[in-house]
Amino acid sequence: MRKDLLDLRSLSKQDIELILDTADACKEILSRPVRKVPTLRGKVLVNLFYEASTRTRMSFEMAGKCLSADVMSVSVATSSVTKGESIKDTVRTVEALGADFVVIRHSSPGVPHLIARTVRAGVINAGDGTHEHPTQGLLDAFTIRERLGSLAGRRVLIVGDILHSRVARSDIWALTKLGARVAVCGPATLLPPGLERFGVKVYTDLDEALPQAEVIQVLRVQLERQKGGLLPSLREYSRRYGINKQRLDALGQDVVLMHPGPANLGVEITEVAAEDRRSVIRDQVRNGVAVRMAVLYLLSGGDKSELAD
Ligand code: CP
């Protein structure tokens, strides 16, 4: 395993499988009455989030604590960033204070890569602009594998705002490397050109795409990244691309419904659909802890067979 986890594009199928297999062992730890092992005792993990987060930040905190690391989360809004401190300076300061891992989320693609070249600490990309969100791609692959046994040959449809979605990019890398047949569907204005080059099938008509799918990953409409003119209206989007109970019921009882969160309920997915028994949205959140434990463990030089009890 390398020093950093910056993207899934550069990981091999074997790298991804090792992380998922390690996450299985981590999930077993999380099922114990005492959800803590001493594996990362003495190590320091710092969360540095320049964009909002609930799931990723909290699950990195939990993952670090379950492995006995000391965990700190820098509140960027009240840090010296507001006095003009550069990202490189902030990260060097964090490292001088003893960080072994820096988990970073930033609105600009490539910032985690820059930081990884700046510090000796292991750097984990927690989402960089529209580029990648590797631990989300891993936990999505883990959740599908857990539900269906294997990714090989499984038909996964990613629906929505593909253009702005770092989750879609990481999902496509992870799922295609593991042998899934991935399709995407959204309005033409929210589909980046050339997607077929990544081995995915492209649809603009949801009702044509849905019957082909065993797994549906619904993406959030990223209202904060829309530059205007890409969507006619949210109501129209919801009518043409929203997942509701009626569309879900047309797919049968075995379909797996996913959403990385946070969801705009009533826009890309209705609350009734999100709470349906076919939804694994809560599993995705829970599995995020196990997958992030696995990433921290492997980046620290651990071997799956040695995960301490
Ligand atoms: N899926 C995801 O990244 O959620 P948060 O923005 O809450 O971390």
Q: How many angstroms separate the CA atoms of 79 and 97, rounded? A: 15
Same structural domain, 81 and 146: no
State the Cα–Cα distance between residues 246 and 67, nearest whole angstrom: 43
- In a domain, residue 233? The reply is yes
pLDDT of amino acid 2: 87
Cis omega (within 30 of 0) on the bond before 262? yes
57 in a domain, yes or no? yes
Are residues 268 and 160 part of one domain?
A: yes
User: What is the phi-psi region of residue 5: left when phi exceeds 0, alpha when psi lies from -120 to 50, beta otherwise?
Assistant: beta
Instruction: State whether 255 and 151 are in the same domain.
Output: yes
Which residues of the chain register pLDDT less than 50?
none
- Torsion over CA: 281, 297, 53, 106 (sign): negative
DSSP 100: S
**Helix locations, the chain, DSSP H:** 13-30, 55-66, 87-96, 111-118, 134-148, 166-177, 206-209, 234-241, 245-249, 271-274, 281-299
Residues with Cβ < 8 Å from 68, sequence gap 6 or more?
36, 37, 38, 39, 40, 41
- Tell me, using a 6 A CB cutoff, whether residue 284 lines ligand 1: no
Cβ(260) – ligand 1 distance below 6 Å: yes
Whole-model pTM over 0.75: yes
Is 221:237 a contact under the CB 8 Å cutoff? yes
Same domain, 91 and 145: no
Q: What is the CATH number of the domain that holds 39?
A: 3.40.50.1370
pLDDT per residue over 210-236, tens digit each?
999 999 999 999 877 666 677 778 899
Q: In this predicted structure, what is the pLDDT of residue 231?
A: 78
Same domain for 83 and 183, yes or no, is no
Q: Are residues 194 and 155 in the same domain?
A: yes
2 found inside a domain? no
From the CA of 53, how far away is ligand 1's center (Å)?
A: 5
pLDDT of residue 108: 95
Whether residue 183 is found in the same domain as residue 271: yes
- Atom 5 of ligand 1, nearest CA residue: 53
Q: How many domains does the chain have?
A: 2
DSSP 33: S
Give the span between the Cα atoms of 176 and 64, in whole angstroms: 29
On whether residue 4 sits in a domain, the answer given is: no
The burial of 130, by beta-carbon neighbours within 10 Å (0-12 exposed, 13-18 middle, 19 or more buried), is given as buried
Q: Has residue 197 been placed in a domain?
A: yes
Residue 305 alpha carbon to ligand 1 centre in Å = 30
Assigned domain for 7 exists: no
246 with 299, same domain? no
What pLDDT does 97 receive? Answer: 92
Same domain membership, residue 254 and residue 184? yes
Q: What is the pLDDT of residues 21-34, one digit of tens each?
A: 999 999 999 999 99
- Is residue 73 located within the same domain as residue 191? no
Is 150's C-beta closer than 6 angstroms to any atom of ligand 1?
no
If one residue of 47, 50, 53 were mutated to test the ligand 1 pocket, choosing by the most ligand atoms within 8 A of its CB, it would be 53
Quick one: 239 and 298 in the same domain? no
- The atom of ligand 1 lying closest to the CA of 54 is 7
Pocket perturbation via mutation, ligand 1, pick of 47, 49, 54 by most ligand atoms within 8 A of CB: 54
Same domain, 181 and 78: no
Range of the structural domain that residue 128 is part of: 13-132+285-308
Instruction: Find out whether the beta carbon of 222 lies less than 6 Å from any atom of ligand 1.
Output: no
Mutate to test the pocket of ligand 1, among 49, 51, 56 (most ligand atoms within 8 A of CB): 56
Residue 99 lies in a domain: yes
pLDDT of residue 232: 75
Residue 8 forms part of a structural domain: no
